[in-house]
């Protein structure tokens, strides 16, 4: 079980993150300031750190600078400071991703999964299995009942989000942020078009509509 260290001084946000991440199967450790966060990381380690910028005493940039002197642990900054300058500073200090508040929980989960995949702390699964589907994430190929199905890049990435998050409902906006990127400003109905194409190629019951909310694949590989 991967462990996430949340360094965040807002107790309400702490509680929301703790409950949501634990429900997704992560172990969660909490720290209210940078000094406490560094101490907990040094004593217990972590697979990933969610780091606020505006912390009492020592801000998140200082914490990240100290972390990078001793570890390459994946770090995602989660902060209300959304200026270009702040984001550039974070990436110059080798943050893995930068998420601005308020944020959408499914999108944050996508970013956590992506950062963990890229990191040396977790070997990326090469094969995702779901009912009659096999997704070769390394070879970028999908098979249905043993026969290869040709998918576009966006269709592949969209399907990957669903297979890595079985049972979770994603809104169109969440899927746009996960697959197209947070800077995409086109029509969100493009998601519906790609879902329709995936259903044609993989079967109409592959991806389910949650009326008024979004889409999901049912949990379970039976």
Model confidence over 99-142: pLDDT tens digits? 888 888 888 988 898 888 877 544 555 788 888 899 998 788 99
**pLDDT tens per residue, range 78-94:** 988 878 888 888 888 88
- Collect all residues with Cβ–Cβ distance below 8 Å to 26 and sequence separation of at least 6: 1, 2, 3, 4
Contact by Cβ (8 Å): 70, 55: no
- Does the bond joining 43 to the residue before it have cis omega, within 30 degrees of 0? no
Strand partners, 23: none
What pLDDT does 41 receive? 93
Tokens of 169: 């409902």
Any idea where the domains of the chain sit in the sequence? 3-118, 127-216
pTM of the model: 0.63
CATH code 3.40.50.2300 for 3-118: yes
Contact by Cβ (8 Å): 4, 119: no
Q: CATH for 127-216, among 1.10.10.10, 3.40.50.150, 3.30.465.10, 1.25.40.20?
A: 1.10.10.10
**Domains 3-118 and 127-216 fall in the same CATH topology:** no
Strand partners, 48: 4
**Rounded-to-integer distance, Cα 49 and Cα 73, Å:** 7
SS3 state of residue 93: coil
């Amino acid at each position: 079980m991967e462990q996430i260290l949340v360094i965040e001084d807002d107790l309400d946000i702490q509680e929301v993150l703790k409950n949501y991440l634990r429900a997704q199967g992560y172990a969660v450790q909490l720290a209210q300031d940078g000094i406490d966060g560094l101490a907990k990381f040094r004593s217990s380690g972590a697979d990933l750190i969610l780091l606020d910028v505006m912390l009492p005493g020592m801000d998140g940039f200082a914490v990240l600078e100290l972390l990078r002197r001793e570890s390459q642990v994946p770090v995602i900054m989660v902060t209300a400071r959304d200026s270009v300058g702040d984001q550039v500073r974070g990436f110059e200090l080798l943050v893995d991703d930068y998420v601005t508040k308020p944020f959408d929980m499914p999108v944050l989960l996508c970013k956590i999964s992506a950062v963990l995949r890229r990191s040396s702390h977790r070997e990326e699964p090469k094969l995702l299995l779901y009912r009659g589907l096999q997704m070769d994430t390394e070879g970028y190929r999908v098979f249905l009942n043993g026969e290869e199905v040709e998918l576009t890049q966006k269709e592949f990435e969209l399907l990957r989000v669903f297979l890595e998050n079985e049972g979770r409902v994603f809104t169109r906006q969440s899927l746009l942020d996960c697959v197209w990127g947070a800077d995409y400003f086109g029509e969100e109905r493009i998601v519906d078009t790609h879902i329709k194409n995936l259903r044609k190629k993989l079967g109409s019951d592959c991806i389910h509509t949650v009326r008024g909310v979004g889409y999901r694949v049912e949990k379970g590989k039976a």
